Structure 1
Amino acid sequence: MFSTLLRPKMKQHATRFRFDLLVIGGGITGAGIALDAVTRGMSVLLVDMQDFAAGTSSRSTKLIHGGLRYLKQMELKIVSETGRERKVVYENAPHVTEPERMLLPFHKGGTFGPHMTSAGLAVYDRLAGVEKDERRTMLSPEETLRLEPLLKREGLLGGGHYVEYRTDDARLTIEVLKKAAEKGALCLNHCKAEKLIYDGDGKVAGAEIRDRLDGSLFRTDADHVINAAGPWVDEVRGLDAIDNDKHLKLSKGVHIVISQSRFPLRQAVYFDSADGRMIFAIPRDGKAYVGTTDTFYGGNPEDVAAAADDVDYLLKAANGMFPGRGLGREDVESTWAGVRPLIHEEGKDPSEISRKDEIWESESGLLTMAGGKLTGYRKMAEDAVDRIVRRSKDRTYGPCITKALRLSGGDFDEPGELELFIEGKANEAELYGLTREEGREIAAFYGTNADVVFRFAHAAGEGAGLSAAVRGRILYAIHGEMAATPADFLVRRTSWMFFDAGKVRIEGKKITEYMADLLFLTEEEKARMFQELDHATSQAAGLQGG
């Protein structure tokens, strides 16, 4: 049950049934918890006040990485755990995760030198359990430039070449949630927990929840409640009695997207900027994106957007490492900004605060999952659900099975099967009235769910100025991925808002009209959808202030 049209039925279930677990927050952490819990035999309800993954989980650097920067800070446990989790994520969802060779150049006077880089990457490989054929190689200046000719040549001493994994963070979250729903979890987006409910002993036992799409209020009961609200963790804790002195500190991260026609980056690069911060520059689908910033943020996480000085900072860093391009604001096609929920550490700058995760428990029994990284979501979920299992002495639940559980769309015996699968689907696409290239794109994007998208595309045909492929994707997003608004589709279900801004400008309003018709919206509701589209487009354009 994961269709937007089934929301009324899902809310009825939520009010009539007592759940073993209520998860507040539908980012990657909450999604992972829901999947782990439901596959152990728990009944699960998950709610998110926005769309799934609308917070941090759609606004990261889009890497499943072991965190080389944490080696520099001597956080060896984080490097080891997240490094080993990278391959787990890849094997369970190869259609949204792929190995990405990363180049770490080192220059005279820079943060890293040849010996430090070689030793650091060797330790990184060992801690992360990297397989022999993927371990780091050290390169001469000439070899480094052959991999990436745009690099600054002056003072170049060489480079390190090592493996990370690139992902689509929002798609990964959606695929986790789809698998959780397939296993029986009830997942509702655009539903906000406004008030916690307590039993006679003062223990948290559910919540009153507001559907932000239609304004309705409903109550749900649960034996256990986990707060996995990411940047809103302290807000949810505010509904309960906060009985410890720990809290979050939000750090803002911004990325900019530039066409490869202006910035023809061949190779993903991890480099140090003039102020010592480490920056990524990554090619993707005809674009290159650069990020991230790391500054404390005190505003509303729902409204975070790239400011002009954020964009200028990243352009300065890019021009410093790739001096021949002369990149300016006019080259920035889109941006995204998000906040990282870090556990506050007094006196530390954002880049110095640990990315470790912790579980907090209040006197009422409310569990809060705080901190952590995208890469470690599965292990974090396992730890959180273990706490619930230990509490539930009168119930028997199964062991954690998510380490070898294929996510939705990832039903391959081996990740290497994906390429052959894509080519096979390219051939089949013509039977559904699609081009081979459309078939290839859909298969690569949706994995083993591609056939469902094909059938929707064939049934939808063309119309309203939209191709059959686009209409098929919209239908699948609504009926199979709970997209309810234009931003749900354009930002979290496709990433077109970030990586195909031209398409959004041309087809955004047509897509909104089509979605409004499919969802039987009133004129007032349709007007709100257009407002949301304008807001999302404005946020992605960035350059606020300055």
Structure 2
Amino acid sequence: MSQHHSDGQDIADLAVVGAGINGLAIARDAAARGLRVVVVDRADAGSGTSSTSSRLIHGGLKYLERYDFTLVHESIRERHLLFRNAPHLVRDYPMLIPFYAGNSRPGALIRLGLAAFDAMAVGRGRGRSRSVSTRRVARQWPHLSTKGLRGAALFHDAQVPWAERLCVELLLDARRLGAQILTHTTVTGLIRDGDRVSGLRTRDNRTGHEREVRARLTVNAAGPWIDQVLDGQISSRRLNGGTKGSHVIVDPFPGAPETCIFFEAASDQRPIFVFPWEGRYLLGSTDLSYDGDLDEVIADDAEIDYLLSETNRIFPSAGLTPGDVLYSVAGIRPLPYTADVTDNAAISRGHTVLDHAPAHPGLLSVIGGKLTTHRALAEDVTDQALKVLGRAPRPCTTRTRPLPGADTSHWPAFRQDFLDSPVLTPAQRRRLLDLYGVRARQVLALAEADPDLLDTVDQESGAIGAEVVLAVREEGAATLGDILLRRTLIGLGGDMGRAAAPRCARIAAPHLGWDEDRIQDELAGYDRELRRFRPRTMQDPAATATSDRRAL
């Protein structure tokens, strides 16, 4: 039975600030346990930190050197659950860890760590790590620098190539379970009844409409922005001490490896990666203290030079220059504030749930969290929410609940049947499976109803028009950026989707009520959104990705 406020407005159990991966996971878990949930985000789902990660679902190997066994155990378990519950999005990802003379972490120590990790991951991994001789490195990775090479180890972790789609599926499942997700809606303040927090004041960014979201419990899950949500609303110590992480995206380069290489930077001993990613390479990441504008985070020239020079050092034939960078991605890790820290790697990567009672009852803030452990974080938050609300404990179901794209009794059989179907090209069928899982059938159903939607809208990715319609009709996309950068992922191609943007805007227009003026506004808005990526095509109009575009 729905309960109402005196003005007739429904009262939610939870009002969640932030539709990043953690806020969406909280909504999904809480709704699955019978709570009435409203999520509010001033931008799109997953458009902040969640879309700027290294795209790894990692078991937490690097946390072993901090003796954070709890986080390692949690990370291994969550990786295992994602293999099972999202097999279309999460895949096994081998990494080579080369050992060089002069590294701060000797090879023997890394081998010991890998042995401990393998022991913790028994029955929940995709293969044990194994030593690799210098001779085998030279044979299998012939372009890797041999200067001071003392051997290597091959280690299995996991990658989520399209982290944005993980967020979309959490959103879809949360909605399916009854949660309300309000994107492009700004939280203008907390509702206060004395010291108690009783919900959120909001404003729809598109219409300007203001409303109150009253709730028995408000959860501040805004990631790096958690302090901004509280600022001027309640008294609180600083909670977020996030560090900046930047990546650059390049095309295959001379000597580029087929395996991820996880190595120690010579300049600062930081572990960094060269990641094969969807036919290109991600180089990352940095880990810098940051006190700047959270809404203007970009990879600066020094970070780009650092990542390129370290890659050129480990791959002497690479010869990468800033002109090779297709675009860069920067974000702020939502880490707990730690005073006087000298080594950012020492800041905990775990999460905590802070209850602001007794000073401000009715408010929880979520500090920390990462892509891999979003489900565990949500389980912890919902457990605490039930206690605060005085509700009886209810079992968490998300450990065994598949995401919508994996909602089939036998994923391998579905995948094979879909790959064997005659529709589209084999590359396009693989792409639909990798982005949508079993929901690829919904994409094709839209195209069957309107055959024009089978047409390819982006030559590089092979995306079809039906994906644009699915994004706006089923997946909550409201802007061109939502469609290109966080639903179809066309915007993460070499030209960041700029060539495909006009066509996609026109396909979306009738479904979103856009006239020609609005289409032009969306195209201009999309270009503005791309500036934070520093795309090569926008810095140098003569530079295009077409020269080295790969065939489908």
Task: Answer yes or no: same fold by TM over 0.5.
Answer: yes
> In the alignment, what sits opposite 1:9?
none
Is 1:382 the counterpart of 2:383? The answer is no
Q: 1:132 to 1:478 in 2, by over 3 A?
A: closer
Matched, 1:253 2:245: yes
Counterpart code for 1:38:
A
* Letter of the structure 2 residue corresponding to residue 205 of structure 1: S
2:92 to 79, 86, 99: 99
Counterpart of 1:266 in structure 2 is 258
Partner of 1:182: 176
The residue that corresponds to 2:12 in the other structure is 19
Call closer, same or farther: CA 1:158–1:87 in 2, change over 3 Å. Answer: same
Matched, 1:144 2:141: no
In 2, Cα distance between equivalents of 1:82 and 1:22 = 27
Tell me, in whole angstroms, the C-alpha distance in 1 between the residues paired with 2:345 and 2:393: 39
2:403 is the counterpart of 1:407: yes
Aligned to 1:60: 53
Shift of 1:128: 4.0
Are 1:351 and 2:351 an aligned pair?
no
Does the CA-based 8 Å contact 1:196-1:240 persist in structure 2?
yes
1:523 deviates by 4.9
Distance 2:452 2:139 in 1: 45
Specify which of 388, 391, 400 is matched with residue 391 of structure 1. 388
Measured against aligned partners, the alpha-carbon deviations of 1:161-183 in whole angstroms (never above 9, x if no partner) come to: 11111002211111111111111
Partner of 1:453: 443
Q: Secondary structure at the match of 1:135?
A: coil
> Is the counterpart of residue 233 in structure 1 residue 226 in structure 2?
yes
Secondary structure (helix, strand or coil) at the match of 1:249 reads: coil
- Corresponding position of 1:127: 120
Deviation at 1:501, TM superposition (A): 2.2
| Structure 1 pair 542–130 and aligned structure 2 pair: CA distance change class (3 A) | farther
Which residue type is aligned with residue 189 of structure 1?
T
> How many angstroms does 1:262 deviate by?
4.7
User: Matched residues in 2 for 1:208 and 1:132: separation?
Assistant: 45
Mapped partners of 1:353, 1:327: distance in 2: 32
| Alpha-carbon separation, structure 1, partners of 2:422 and 2:253 | 30
The aligned counterpart of 2:522 is: 529
Matching residue of 1:6: none
Quick one: structure 1 residues 532 and 40, their matched pair in 2 at CA, closer, same or farther if it must change by over 3 Å?
Answer: same
**Residue 298 of structure 1, CA deviation:** 2.1
Residues 460 and 350 of structure 1, relative CA distance in 2, 3 Å threshold: farther
Q: 1:117 maps to what in 2?
A: 110
Aligned twin of 1:191: 185
Distance 1:421 1:146 in 2: 37
Task: Identify the match of residue 472 of structure 2 among 468, 478, 484.
Answer: 478
1:19-58 equivalences under 5 Å are: 19-58=12-51
Q: Is the 8 A contact 1:462 1:471 kept in 2?
A: yes
Spell out, residue by residue over 1:219-257, the C-alpha distance to the aligned partner (whole angstroms, 9 max, x if none).
1211111000001100112253134x3421131111111
Provide the identity percentage: 32
Contact 2:253–2:320, Cα closer than 8 Å, also in 1: no
Residue 337 of structure 1 corresponds to which residue in structure 2?
330
CA offsets 1:176-212 (integer angstroms, 9 cap, x no match): 111111111111211111121134x532111111111
Distance 2:196 2:217 in 1: 9
Q: Secondary structure at the match of 1:343?
A: coil
Give the Cα separation in 2 of the matches to 1:297 and 1:529.
Answer: 31
Residue 82 of structure 1 corresponds to which residue in structure 2? Answer: 75
Aligned positions, number? 522
Shift of 1:351: 2.6
Aligned letter for 1:439? R
CA distance in 2, matches of 1:76, 1:110: 24
1:370 corresponds to which residue? 367
Secondary structure of 1:401's aligned partner? coil
1:289 maps to amino acid = L
Q: Secondary structure at the match of 1:303?
A: coil
CA deviation string 1:73-125 (max 9, x = no partner): 22222122112211112211111111111111111111332311110111122
Instruction: Supply the distance in 2 between the matched residues of 1:234 and 1:528 (Cα, whole angstroms).
Output: 32
Normalised TM-score (structure 1): 0.90
Greater alpha carbon shift after TM alignment, 526-535 vs 275-284: 526-535
| CA 505–88 in structure 1, closer or farther in 2 if over 3 Å, else same | same
Amino acid at match of 1:176: L
How far apart in 2 are the matches of 1:114 and 1:15? 66
TM-aligned CA distance change 1:74 to 1:15, over 3 Å: farther
Distance (Å, rounded) in 2 between the aligned partners of 1:404 and 1:145: 43
Q: Give 2:457's aligned residue.
A: 466
Describe the SS at the equivalent of 2:13: strand
SS at match of 2:155: strand
Three-state SS of the structure 1 residue aligned to 2:418 is helix
Pair 133,523 (structure 1): closer, same or farther in 2 beyond 3 Å: closer
Q: Matches of residues 418-457 of structure 1 in structure 2 within 5 Å? A: 418=412, 420-430=413-423, 434-457=424-447
More helix by share: 1
The AA in structure 2 aligned to 1:512 is A
Question: 3-state DSSP class of the match of 1:266?
Answer: coil
Q: Specify every segment of 5 or more residues in structure 1 that has no aligned partner in the other structure, as ranges.
A: 1-13
CA distance in structure 2 between the partners assigned to 1:133 and 1:368 by the alignment = 35
Aligned to 1:8: none
1:61 CA drift (Å): 0.2
Give how far 1:261 is off: 5.2
**Once the 2 structures are TM-superposed, how far is the Cα of residue 279 of structure 1 from its aligned partner?**
0.5
Q: Which runs of 5+ in 2 are unaligned?
A: 1-6, 540-552
Letter in 1 for 2:433: A
Counterparts of 1:139 and 1:52, CA distance in 2? 42
Instruction: Determine the C-alpha separation between the residues in 2 that align with 1:461 and 1:304.
Output: 41
Q: How far is the alpha carbon of 1:383 from its aligned partner?
A: 0.9
The answer to whether the 8 Å contact 1:15/1:221 transfers is no
Letter of the 1:98 counterpart:
R
Cα gap change, 1:320 to 1:386, in 2 (>3 Å): same
Does the 8 Å contact 2:169/2:405 carry over to 1?
yes
Change (3 A) 1:265 1:192: same
Mapped to 2, the partners of 1:495 and 1:197 lie a distance apart of 37
CA distance in 2, matches of 1:61, 1:531: 28
- Aligned counterparts, 1:197-346, within 5 A: 197-199=191-193, 202-243=195-236, 245-260=237-252, 262=254, 264-274=256-266, 275-346=268-339
**8 A contact 1:42–1:397 mirrored in 2:** no
For residues 310 and 209 of structure 2, the distance between their equivalents in structure 1, rounded to whole angstroms, comes to 48
| Separation (CA, whole Å) in 2 of partners of 1:193 and 1:285 | 36
**Bigger CA drift: 59-68 or 70-79?**
70-79
Letter in 2 for 1:383: D
State the TM-score, normalized to the length of structure 2.
0.89
The 1-side partners of 2:155 and 2:504 are apart by 40
**1:425: how far off?**
1.3
> Offset of 1:497 from its aligned partner?
2.6
